[in-house]
Structure 1
Amino acid sequence: AIKVFFELPDVGICWNTASYNIIIHSLCQLGKIKEAHRLLLQMELRGCIPDVVTYSTIIDGYCHVGRLQMVLRLIDEMQSKALRPNPYTYSSIIYLLCETGKVVEAEKALREMLNQGILPDSVVYTTLIDGFCKLGNIAFAYKLLNEMQGRKIIPDLLTYTSIICGLCRTGKMTEACNIFQEMLGRGLEPDEFTYTALIDGYCKAGEMKEAFSLHNQMVQMGLIPNVVTYTALADGLCKCGEVDTANELLHEMCVRGLQPNIFTYNSLVNGLCKSGNIAQAIKLMDDMETAGLHPNVITYTTLMDAYCKTGEMDKAYELLRKMLDRRIQPTLVTFNVLMNGFCMSGMLEDGEKLLQWLLEKGIKPNATTYNYLMKQYCIRKDMCATAAMWKGMCAQGVMPDANSYNILIKGHCKARNMKEAWFLRREMIEKGYDLTATSYNDLIKGFIKRKKLKEAREIFDEMRQKGMAADKEIYCYFVDINYEEGNMETTLELCDEVIENCLVTKLNNENK
């Protein structure tokens, strides 16, 4: 049909805009976007004026191949010809913006759409809801859902599944379950994707009983679990230390004719490494290759991390060499795994050399890279080296994280540099970071040793307000102080707290 279309003008037959639109749509459907765009240019040369459908079809084509700049050019061209985007145009643009992570811009496009008097459909709202959920902004996704329902646009299965996925990714399983029940109450039947999202969420939360209950429910409904479903279950079992059960699940998966993918194998490798079965994990990596799958950077990094944690740095380094020989590019996570290994093994010089090598190669370290080194310097009470590392980190434009501050506060407290520790505590709070219970305990003990009761009491009160438990000796100190001061009410409160936080908690832990 396309061939005939191009031949007929040569025999004097001219096509109208509707005819061109049909062919442009066909070309876009075939993925021939450039040919469709060339046809748009030819239209005007042959005296045929493109309309909003012509532009919207080509814009949609470019949206599905991710050509944002070309889309923006076509919109400008379209508007210069006094053609207003239609619902189809906006839907395509919003899809592309969400796919490229530009959800704020996508939401602005929705507002523009509404200002033009164009009512969005469930597809537009679902695309935006899914985009915000993928960014972890569930609150805004809910806002869009409420707006959608306020406009009498009924959420469909995809809308609910998008929200369920977002809630599961952020570990909000109670809310995800509530949305699932609401969906069922509206008469919508969940599909494999809905169930798999919930199963994955429960597996990540370590709630395997709920995960398998949903798996069984899914099968009873006649839905067939896919590779992603089995991988989620295998990963959950591995993280709970049930590697043998995960292997049985892998066998069941193969019996059903499903081939494990790289994610399935990586989950099992990770589980074996965490349970201390490194040799079995290495064998599984060999099995991967036999099955025609190539270990990736995650596979190697997981195994290197296992060797580093057991202090077998030679084997970890050998895996790095093997990885490079296979032209697999290590990530910063890989190098941080090595850095942690060097620091845990007391090989600080090797850690320093690795940091220098990263900087020379133009690989920018992150806060985690520096934290491993600073922690070891603090353990050795070498605060001069810690301060130098901190300065070097800031000079490289690497922003300290909450862990960086907590490491330094603990280090300065142990070195009795309470002025520095106090300053760092104030700076981290200003940046919105939280102190750990250990940091609070070290600060309080440090000030008590320096007989700075005012500062110790301020930190202790702040710690209690945050619902954190102090060490037993700190409680005993403040019980004595308050008793001597005649503050009987506070004394009794602290006695109750020390019983609850120190004695009851200890007994509960021993009975587990």
Structure 2
Amino acid sequence: MKTSAFHSLGRSFQVLSLRANGETRLHCLQFSFLTCLNQWLAFSSSSNVRPFPDYSPKKPTIRDSDLVHQISNAIRLRRSEPLRRVLKPFESKFRSDHLVWVLMSIKNDYKLVLDFFNWACLQRDPNLEARCIVIQIAAACKDLKVADELIRDFWAKPNLEVGHAFTLFVERLIYTYKEWGSDPHVFDVFFHVLAEAGLFAEARSFFDKLLNYGILVSVDSCNLYLSYLSNSTHGLVMTLKVYVEFSRAGVCWNTTSYNIIMSTLCQLARLKEAHTLLLQMEFKGYPPDVVSYSTIINGYCQIGELEEVLHLIEEMQFKGLKPNSYTYNSIILLLFKSGNVDKTETILKEMVNQGITPDNVVYTTLIDGFCKQGNTQAAYMLFHEMQAQRIIPDFIAYTAIICGFCQNGNMLEADKLFTEMLGRGVRPDEVTYSALVDGYCKLGDMKKAFFLHNQMVRHGLVPNVVTYTTLADGLCKIGELETANELLKEMRAKGLQLNVWTYNSMVNGLCKVGNLAQALQLKEEMEVAGIHPDVVTYTTLMDAYCKMGEMGKASELLQEMLKRGLQPTVVTFNVLMNAFCQLGRLEDGEKLLQWMLDRKIMPNTTTYNCLMKQYSIRNNMHRTTEIYRAMQAEGMMPDGNTYNILIKGHCKARNMKEAWYLYKAMAGKGFVLTATSYNALIRGFLKRKKMLEARKIFEEMRREGLNADEDIYSFFVNYEEGNSDNNFALCDEAIEELVGKAKN
């Protein structure tokens, strides 16, 4: 077996399923055949089976017989001429009864039957008996497409009373069967049409009626019935019930059948039963296919069972089955949910190596996942790769990456993508607009935020609670508290209910502008309004107290929160951790970290970053590195902030080899250096006389649009004495940097 990227996700898993040899497979096939044979014998020997009725149509008069004879001879002898011209003399005398009698005369000439029937339909609507006759002839001639069209044409009639029409149609179809076709496929076609139309009760009634005549609907038609039923409002439980009842009736299910039932069981959260069915398929003579495995793999992905997924992948590959795009997409989603974001790139490469081109769903999943992890740069790279593969990004992909840029405050790129989105005719929704409004509110650009709000309304979208809350929050942050309150009044006037998130945004806005007293008052107003403060409310207020150095007050709020039965989140503890670090109480910070780990409260990257940053500032890179390794041991992946902290710390400690290694690792994962990190790297290399590396980093910094510190510009101006053009460019950048600092 070829080495797979899935091996890198964990230890190798032993394949537990039996690998049947030739004898076992033969035994399975024999078992399956005998089972079906026994079911059929039991079914066919039933005393309830009755013969199909004999066809006995109305007898024509002598005059009618003459007319039928004339029409039949005319269309046979002059078949090369247009039928309308041939039958023009007979139009005034032609009745519905004549249609059946002519069909009896020409039934062995299939093309002539169809042509004549089409002509008759232009004269008047044919009766149901004639229609069923032509359907029977088409089925007997193996033209199931025409049979299907004729059945659909009948059921497409307006104002059709389903119950009555069903009874009449079934009677005529059975009545014409023995004389006109005797091909059971005709019943499969009708059964399929009923299932596709959602007429499940009628289809089931038809199935039972056919049993009385010794006809069993084919397994393929039964599969279609199960598939449509499982996707209907009738529910998944009914699908399982029908599966059991059809089995008792004698239907021999195949791989497709089991795949449908496994999917149904997975949707009902009965995954163990679905997995058991997968194992049983082999012994029933139906080896599982890619769809079978993908269904179970997706089920385990939904509940986060990574080990079971890897085991199934191993088993699948052992049997020579390649995962498809559906399988890969399920695994990618699981990896994002479990925090193994970096592993998704490995899976994506594996997918491409298997010759499977990632589709829109896979790319969108990756883009959305990276954006939610804060790695917008990696998401943007995938977005460009997606377009290079000529896969048009949809609304979800655009919205995900726009939200990512907005969260990072990169409104220039967000606005650029939004314009591109509109230009391609991809319509944004409330989520897209709310993300942009939020991004501009965070920048304090309330004019642009309200412009987007108005544009949203003009396009027929109704601003929701999130949009109004975001605007109110932005107004609070710039001190426009009265305007924010007016906006909330407008929100109430439109029938939108203030929720805990709205209040939390207001509390957060008040805390941001230092108005803690009013924030506490708003907390009391929440309770009066019947909206209880949640963990976010308390965490926001605790953060405000911590930033003021009032750890006692923060502790009181923590106690109040615990008394109310609210469970602190990692963000709550990060607030305390940040406060301890800012106050220089690193021992207390480490005690808090250990306390969290002891109580199975999983810290996140931010928790570790707080400690690493302070130890790095103290030039204690030994302890910084220990914390970094401990973070990785707990399964936490470093983010852009982690790398910037470590790189600046190692540069300050002159560990340039380590700093350079981290810089390369960071770039490989799509994270970007901050201006201070660039400056630190350049200074570190200059001190070590590593001019080539320093120059490379300096040029990269300029390409990123970041300005170096004045002393670095001065060095390179002097260093480039022979290159006047480059010197002028560097001088311009240095002046721009000084002007920018002066403005600030």
Q: Report the TM-score when normalising by structure 2.
A: 0.52
1:358 matched to 2:561? The reply is: yes
1:185 deviates by 3.6
Q: How does 1:146-225 map to 2 (within 5 A)?
A: 146-225=349-428
Measure, in 2, the Cα distance between the counterparts of 1:459 and 1:104.
Answer: 43
Q: Does the 8 Å contact 1:405/1:424 carry over to 2?
A: no
Measure, in 2, the Cα distance between the counterparts of 1:303 and 1:368.
Answer: 19
The answer for the alignment partner of 2:480 in structure 1 is 277
1:238 matched to 2:441? The reply is: yes
Structure ID, larger Rg: 2
Q: How does 1:63-78 map to 2 (within 5 A)?
A: 63-64=266-267, 67-69=270-272, 71-72=274-275, 74-75=277-278, 78=281
1:237 deviates by 1.6
1:255 deviates by 0.9
What is the aligned-residue RMSD (CA, Å)? 4.9
In structure 2, the CA distance between the partners of 1:206 and 1:389, relative to structure 1 (3 Å rule), is closer
The answer for the alignment partner of 2:608 in structure 1 is 402
In structure 2, the CA distance between the partners of 1:380 and 1:162, relative to structure 1 (3 Å rule), is closer
Moved more, 10-19 or 115-124: 10-19
In structure 2, the CA distance between the partners of 1:428 and 1:102, relative to structure 1 (3 Å rule), is same
1:511 deviates by 3.9
1:3 matched to 2:201? The reply is: yes
The answer for the alignment partner of 1:428 in structure 2 is 627
The answer for the alignment partner of 1:30 in structure 2 is 232
1:293 deviates by 3.1
2:463 alignment partner, SS class = coil
Moved more, 197-206 or 235-244: 197-206
In structure 2, the CA distance between the partners of 1:131 and 1:435, relative to structure 1 (3 Å rule), is closer
Q: Does the 8 Å contact 2:465/2:498 carry over to 1?
A: yes
**Code of the aligned partner of 1:402:** Y
**Code of the aligned partner of 2:445:** E
Measure, in 2, the Cα distance between the counterparts of 1:46 and 1:98.
Answer: 35
Q: Does the 8 Å contact 1:297/1:329 carry over to 2?
A: yes
Moved more, 176-185 or 242-251: 176-185
The answer for the alignment partner of 2:212 in structure 1 is 12
1:117 alignment partner, SS class = coil
Moved more, 134-143 or 219-228: 134-143
2:357 alignment partner, SS class = coil
Q: Deviations over 1:325-367 (max 9, x none)?
A: 5665644332211222333456544433322233444444356
The answer for the alignment partner of 1:248 in structure 2 is 451
Measure, in 2, the Cα distance between the counterparts of 1:219 and 1:384.
Answer: 53
Measure, in 2, the Cα distance between the counterparts of 1:489 and 1:41.
Answer: 79
**Code of the aligned partner of 1:144:** I
1:181 deviates by 3.8
Q: Does the 8 Å contact 1:165/1:197 carry over to 2?
A: yes
1:254 deviates by 0.8
In structure 2, the CA distance between the partners of 1:296 and 1:98, relative to structure 1 (3 Å rule), is farther
Measure, in 2, the Cα distance between the counterparts of 1:511 and 1:464.
Answer: 36
In structure 2, the CA distance between the partners of 1:24 and 1:327, relative to structure 1 (3 Å rule), is farther
In structure 2, the CA distance between the partners of 1:23 and 1:136, relative to structure 1 (3 Å rule), is same
Measure, in 2, the Cα distance between the counterparts of 1:347 and 1:502.
Answer: 44
**Code of the aligned partner of 1:431:** A
1:365 alignment partner, SS class = coil
1:431 alignment partner, SS class = helix
Q: Does the 8 Å contact 1:199/1:233 carry over to 2?
A: yes
Q: Deviations over 1:214-233 (max 9, x none)?
A: 22223232332222322222
Measure, in 1, the Cα distance between the counterparts of 2:337 and 2:372.
Answer: 8
1:122 matched to 2:325? The reply is: yes
**Code of the aligned partner of 1:87:** V
The answer for the alignment partner of 1:40 in structure 2 is 243
**Code of the aligned partner of 1:355:** L
Moved more, 355-364 or 26-35: 355-364
The answer for the alignment partner of 2:83 in structure 1 is none
Measure, in 2, the Cα distance between the counterparts of 1:197 and 1:78.
Answer: 41
Q: Deviations over 1:408-427 (max 9, x none)?
A: 9699x9xxxx9xx9997686
Measure, in 2, the Cα distance between the counterparts of 1:176 and 1:390.
Answer: 31
Measure, in 1, the Cα distance between the counterparts of 2:496 and 2:347.
Answer: 41
Measure, in 1, the Cα distance between the counterparts of 2:342 and 2:623.
Answer: 33
1:294 alignment partner, SS class = coil
Q: Does the 8 Å contact 1:374/1:407 carry over to 2?
A: no
In structure 2, the CA distance between the partners of 1:363 and 1:72, relative to structure 1 (3 Å rule), is farther
Measure, in 1, the Cα distance between the counterparts of 2:590 and 2:225.
Answer: 68
In structure 2, the CA distance between the partners of 1:397 and 1:143, relative to structure 1 (3 Å rule), is closer
Measure, in 1, the Cα distance between the counterparts of 2:426 and 2:379.
Answer: 20
**Code of the aligned partner of 1:23:** Y
In structure 2, the CA distance between the partners of 1:179 and 1:44, relative to structure 1 (3 Å rule), is closer
Moved more, 26-35 or 376-385: 376-385
Q: Does the 8 Å contact 1:371/1:407 carry over to 2?
A: no
Measure, in 2, the Cα distance between the counterparts of 1:279 and 1:255.
Answer: 26
Gaps of 5+ in 2: 1-198, 633-641, 661-674, 678-686, 691-708, 716-733
1:368 deviates by 5.1
**Code of the aligned partner of 1:305:** N
Q: Does the 8 Å contact 1:33/1:58 carry over to 2?
A: no
In structure 2, the CA distance between the partners of 1:300 and 1:222, relative to structure 1 (3 Å rule), is same
Q: Deviations over 1:76-120 (max 9, x none)?
A: 565675653333333333334444455664455344333222333
The answer for the alignment partner of 2:264 in structure 1 is 61
**Code of the aligned partner of 1:12:** N
**Code of the aligned partner of 2:398:** Y
Q: Does the 8 Å contact 1:230/1:253 carry over to 2?
A: yes
Q: Does the 8 Å contact 2:430/2:462 carry over to 1?
A: yes
Moved more, 359-368 or 251-260: 359-368
1:44 deviates by 4.1
Q: Report the TM-score when normalising by structure 1.
A: 0.72
Q: Deviations over 1:252-289 (max 9, x none)?
A: 11111112233333432332233333333333333333
1:46 deviates by 4.0
1:144 matched to 2:350? The reply is: no
Residue number among 195, 220, 223 corresponding to 1:21 in the alignment: 223
Q: How does 1:454-469 map to 2 (within 5 A)?
A: 460-461=653-654, 466=659
The answer for the alignment partner of 1:477 in structure 2 is none
Measure, in 1, the Cα distance between the counterparts of 2:295 and 2:309.
Answer: 10
Measure, in 2, the Cα distance between the counterparts of 1:322 and 1:461.
Answer: 54
Measure, in 2, the Cα distance between the counterparts of 1:325 and 1:13.
Answer: 72
1:50 deviates by 3.9
Number of matched residues? 473
Q: Does the 8 Å contact 2:437/2:471 carry over to 1?
A: yes
The answer for the alignment partner of 2:298 in structure 1 is 95
**Code of the aligned partner of 2:200:** I
In structure 2, the CA distance between the partners of 1:237 and 1:149, relative to structure 1 (3 Å rule), is same
1:165 deviates by 3.2
Moved more, 499-508 or 52-61: 499-508
1:510 matched to 2:741? The reply is: yes
Q: Deviations over 1:107-149 (max 9, x none)?
A: 5534433322233333333443455456664543333333333
Q: Does the 8 Å contact 1:43/1:50 carry over to 2?
A: no
Gaps of 5+ in 1: 442-456, 471-486, 491-496
